[in-house]
Structures are given as C-alpha cells and as structure tokens.
C-alpha cells in the first residue's frame, strides 16, 4: 500500500468538497484510508493510503469535486508518511 498527500487548490472550502471525497472513498471498491481537511490557506489536504490504482482513481475524483467546487490544481506528494494509522476515511477538523 502507498500513501499520497494531495493539496487541492481552488474553490474547495465551504462547498461540500471534503464530503465529496469521503463519498467517493466509501463507495470505492478497494479500501482507502485517511482523511480530508481544510487548511488555513484555503486549500484542502487529502491524506490517503491504499493501492496505487485506487489512489490514482481518488485523484481523478478529487479533480471533479462537488457540484459547486472548482479545483484548479492538485499537488501530489507520493510516498508521504501516514503516522495516524487510520482504519477509515474521514473528515478532519
């Protein structure tokens, strides 16, 4: 399993973006663990652990976002560390 950290830029706060990420992960056929959280600079951080093809599909979903979000760019940091040892995917506050 791999861990990637995504920093999502654009109109991604207060538009249901994090929930759209959670909805994708929970409906996906392979397990993905991690979280989505708002950052102070207006971006959203997504930390995800899963198989590489699942993480690639997650990135595609993150570009789509919610109905009213507008993603302009995603910074992808592969081989990130996941020290949280999460066994679910959730919204962090």
Q: Which residues are known to be catalytic?
A: 18, 38
Question: What's the distance, CA 82 to chain centroid?
Answer: 13
What is the Cα–Cα distance from 2 to 14, expressed in whole angstroms? 29
- Is the CA virtual torsion 38, 41, 42, 48 positive or negative? negative
DSSP line for 53-69: HHHHHHHHHHHH-STT-
């Amino acid at each position: 399993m791999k861990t990637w950290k995504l920093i999502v830029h654009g109109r991604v706060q207060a538009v249901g973006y994090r929930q759209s990420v959670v909805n994708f992960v929970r409906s996906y056929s392979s397990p993905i663990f991690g979280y989505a959280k708002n950052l102070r600079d207006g971006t959203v951080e997504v930390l995800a652990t899963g198989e590489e093809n699942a993480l690639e599909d997650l990135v595609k979903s993150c570009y789509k976002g919610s109905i009213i979000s507008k993603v302009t760019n995603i910074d992808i940091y592969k081989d990130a560390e996941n020290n949280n040892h999460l066994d679910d995917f959730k919204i962090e506050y």
